[in-house]
Amino acid sequence: MSKKVINVVAAAIEKDGLIFCAQRPEGKSLGGFWEFPGGKLEVGETPEEALVREIQEEFNSKIEVLSYVNEASYEYEFGIVTMKTYLSRLIEGDLVLLEHQDSKWLPVERLMELNWAPVDIPAVECLQKK
């Protein structure tokens, strides 16, 4: 049986030369792993619209999507996640953690210090090459 493909978008949010990293809550899928925040696209949404909506819902903040970073896929037990990551900037709010257990602002060169969810690692590598 083929696995379900889950299309998601993620924001590498930059502020003052640092990148926002969010830690998934324990007890949820991929609990404890770090990720660039985002979520699933809804019908009729562009990736950019989905990102703006997801960051508003999950962090009560507004972002501006700046540029495309990469697309990566990873096969998890629950399905295949295909994720498009975009460099974004915070334009309103303080990224309040409504669904994550922790967060950090790190310079790009220190991102690999965190235990990233597998689908996020290619985006981290792309950011470090820019």
48: number of Cβ within 10 Å: 18
Encoding tokens for residue 30? Answer: 């991929």
Taking the model in full, what pTM does it have?
A: 0.94
Query: Could you list the residue range(s) of the whole structural domain that residue 79 is in?
Result: 5-129
The confidence score (pLDDT) of residue 1 equals: 64
Q: How many domains does the chain have?
A: 1
Q: What is the CATH number of the domain that holds 53?
A: 3.90.79.10
Q: What pLDDT, on a 0 to 100 scale, did the predictor assign at position 19?
A: 97
What is the C-alpha radius of gyration for the chain, rounded to an integer number of angstroms? 14
State the average pLDDT over residues 113-130.
95
